[in-house]
Structure 1
Amino acid sequence: MDWSATLIGGFDSPLMVKDWVAITIFFGTWFAYARIAKFRAKREHTLSSIMRKHREHWMRQVMLREQRVSDATILGNLERVVTFFASTTILLLAGTLTAMMSADGLVEVINSAHLADSASAESVRAKLFFLALIFVYAFFKFTWAVRQYIMCAILLGGAPIHHGEPIELPLSDEFEAFALRAAKMSDLANHDFNHGLRAYYFALALLGWLINVWVLLGASSLVLFTLAQREFASKAVQVLRDQ
């Protein structure tokens, strides 16, 4: 049997069976990590859960201030960071599509590597197509995060203002409800930003697929370890938890 052109789902695929198995494991690992990270964030101290508490604290402090220019500036800076990544993703996507059209030249480079599997232009295009899909996903996540930061800024602009005597913690029901709503919007934006960044990490791992499936799986494991260490056991988590 010619494994380089296996019948998958009723059509001749330029990818081998081991490629389909590896890419399934790749996306399965990505999805599983996202679910586990979300599950653990609800039950223990992780970077995401700790930062959610800090956002709530931030918005409560906003309610105590009459002048909120500095808070609006912080939101604007966060929005610009995400916008930068969204713009960069478009450039990366354009570069990936260009590489797909120049696959013949890439095949010569890949086949010259000692550890690389024998590649064809069709298989290289198929692998780069998956890379392009990841960048499309990242672009949608980044742009949605930008919109949510804009929504958060609008919420901040319409925040209730206390008149008369300065208020103190704990806040009244009106101010507390608003603070939690604004913090939740900021948290949603940050989650989508994190999903976009996570896509970048896994996109780097996917580049190993151009060499062989073992490099892909090894790079995916390294990315998974790096993300888990930073989310659950990094020094940043310790500092924020101890604060």
Structure 2
Amino acid sequence: MTAIQTFNLFSPLDLAALFWLVLAILWIGWRIESPPRGQPSVSILMMGFRREWMRNMISREPRVFDAQLIGNLRQGTAFFASASMIAIGGTLALMGNTEQLAGLVTDLTHGNAPAIVWEVKVLLVVALLANAFLKFVWSHRLFGYCAVLMASVPNDPDDPCTYPRAEQAADVNITAARSYNRAMRSVYFALASVAWLLGPVALMVAVVVTTAVLYRREFASESRASLLRVPSEARPPAT
């Protein structure tokens, strides 16, 4: 079966739902990482606190706490990278047994479609999980780079290299966190894309719900309100 024939197996509503998914991924990513100046997201607020962390590390002696914290961040990325690999393997195994999947979905939706349709829909989930895996791995590596940079920061605040090195460590830390957040969003939308097996309308609904959850957590959550509560005598973290 050619690519054009496979393309013709999907209805205009299926293509619209797929476009809706891509648009939602791009929009929520842009909204979180480039919010209006007066409405920062949790991710942007945490950037400031990460810079404050690196500055406060300069005068902290010993730096056992900092080492433990960066180690915990690396463990988190390693866990999700492993989980993504397992999910990819399970999804690929499902592609090799689409007959049972098609039978289950047919019972739920009372529809009928060739096996290639189910394989394409499952492949979308694999693509999003693979994207998440690659970003988790890169985030893990960047947190490792950050650990090395943190170790290179002199203990003497008067050393001319101290603050520039701390700023470098903060930049790498922020980049690692950004990659981690993008990977998590990819996992969320991978879960949402499973709804495509039930039809394009189900995919659209799942995308809307997922986008709403991400938006609430970044812009209307209790954790964000806590991050914004800064004592009046303290200066806000730099971004």
Q: Under a length normalisation based on structure 1, what TM-score does the superposition of the two structures give?
A: 0.88
Structure 1 residues 122 and 204, CA gap change in structure 2 (3 angstroms): same
2:138 maps to a residue whose letter is W
| 1-structure distance, mates of 2:160, 2:35 | 29
Contact kept? 2:17, 2:203, Cα under 8 Å: yes
| Alignment partners' CA distance in 1, 2:145 and 2:228 | 28
> Aligned equivalents of 2:71 and 2:37: distance in 1?
28
Matched, 1:99 2:94: yes
Q: Is the 8 A contact 2:42 2:218 kept in 1?
A: yes
Q: State the partner residue of 1:146.
A: 140
Provide the alpha-carbon RMSD of the alignment: 2.0
Paired residue for 1:33? 28
Aligned amino acid, residue 208 of structure 1: A
**Match for residue 228 of structure 2?**
241
Change (3 A) 1:192 1:222: same
CA separation of 1:86/1:157 partners in 2, compared to 1, >3 Å: closer, same or farther?
same
Q: Within the alignment, does 1:191 sit opposite 2:178 as a pair?
A: yes
Tell whether 2:123 aligns with 1:129: yes
Higher normalized contact order (CA 8 Å, seq sep 6+, divided by chain length): 2
Question: Tell me, what secondary structure is at the counterpart of 2:62?
Answer: coil
**1:2-151 map, 5 Å:** 10-13=4-7, 14-40=9-35, 44-113=39-108, 115=109, 117-151=111-145
Separation in 1 of the partners of 2:207 and 2:74? 29
Code of the residue aligned with 1:80 in structure 2: it is Q
How far residue 157 of structure 1 moved from its aligned partner, in angstroms, is 1.2
The total of aligned residue pairs comes to 229
Deviation at 1:172, TM superposition (A): 7.3
Q: CA deviation at 1:120?
A: 2.6
Identity of paired residues, percent?
27
Quick one: distance in 1 between partners of 2:191 and 2:110? Answer: 17
SS in 2 for 1:40: coil
C-alpha separation in 1, matches of 2:110 and 2:207: 17
Runs (4+) of structure 1 exceeding 6 A deviation are none
Aligned partner of residue 118 in structure 2, secondary structure: helix
Change (3 A) 1:180 1:43: farther
1:157 partner amino acid: A
Residues 1:116 and 1:81: Cα distance change in structure 2 (over 3 Å): farther
- Show the counterpart of 2:191: 204
Classify the secondary structure of the residue corresponding to 1:65: coil
Distance in 2 separating the partners of 1:60 and 1:213: 49
CA distance in 1: counterparts of 2:36 and 2:65, whole angstroms? 29
- Structure 1 spans left out of the alignment, 5+ residues: none
Question: Partner of 2:113: helix, strand, or coil?
Answer: coil
Shift of the 232–136 alpha-carbon distance from structure 1 to 2, 3 Å rule, reads same
